[in-house]
Amino acid sequence: MITAMISRDEKDIPPATLAGIRAGGIEIRCRNCRTAGELVDFARDADLVWLDGTVPALNADSVSQLPRCRALFRSGSGIDSLPLARAAELGIKVYNTPESISEAVAEHSVALLFALARKIVCFDRLVRDGGWETPKGAVPHHLNGRTLGLVGYGNIARIVERLVSGFQMTVIHHDPQSAASVPLDELLERSDFVSLHCPLTAQTAKLIDRQKLNLMKPDALLINTSRGSVIDEAALIEALEHGRIGGAALDVTECEPPSPDNRLLQLPNVIITPHIAAFSVDFEKNFFESSFRKLLEIRDIISNNNSRRLQNEQTEKGL
């Protein structure tokens, strides 16, 4: 199986990982492809295209020019930047490794919740500016006995639920794939804290819009470690400025990085981190271990599919 890694040069992959991949019978080539033309030339004969992060060069047009491609593999979780519709039309399977970042993203989600609820950043700024007395209206939230609503109930959300279990919060969730799902409107009305963990799709784009924000409690807190476009950012800014919700903690924004004049940056009841929820000292280790396992899994799938295809062709020919 020929694999084209299109987002990293070979020097950016641990030698032990490359050696293991090649020992597994996978021919791997690596280049950080900047343009669609470069990508097509580099990956034209590849069975598998492997990437991490966002690669603008991989789009509906360029993937159409990869005649041997059988699979796209994005290390990590989100696949919204991939040309999914065109890949489906071409019979190209799409794979990812959400397990490589689930724990880290869940931990960051909980950290944002706690920092926002307990006003950690607010009080840190207060002391650095020479203050000490708690300003009027800056009273932290209590966690015990509150309701946490999870929008999306995949691996990350389930870990969040486990991590907060010691705080005796009521945890509810909305996810069409879950039998215990509650309607989204009900979740927003009931929750003191809302944490977003859904993928970005046509159905979830601007899912949290003005109407949904108006359903939330006036002191409710919103946490987002999924994708920025799951929230209607203009509506969120309006809700925060007019006190219709209590605050927001965001690891993702609609445009990344946000422009310097983005009003979110001026609001005292907002915490923003630079899309780093997945990163930790263990990130590279988890990233490459999970990627290696997935590459071997894809190798076996492609090999089995090729064997079945050959058998079918021989049967059709009467061999």
Cβ pair 73, 58 in contact under 8 A: no
128 counts as catalytic: no
Active-site residue, from 118, 210, 275, 289: 275
Return the SS3 of 214.
helix
227 counts as catalytic: yes
Active-site residue, from 10, 256, 284, 313: 256
What are the phi and psi torsion angles at 83 (to 5°)? -80, 70
Active-site residue, from 227, 233, 254, 299: 227
What are the phi and psi torsion angles at 69 (to 5°)? -65, 125
Return the SS3 of 84.
helix
Cβ pair 225, 108 in contact under 8 A: yes
Residues in the chain: 319
How far apart (Å, rounded) are the C-alpha atoms in residues 95 and 296?
12
What are the phi and psi torsion angles at 285 (to 5°)? -60, -50
Query: What 8-state DSSP symbol labels residue 208?
Result: B
Other Cβ atoms within 10 Å of 25 Cβ, number: 10
Annotated catalytic residues are 227, 256, 275
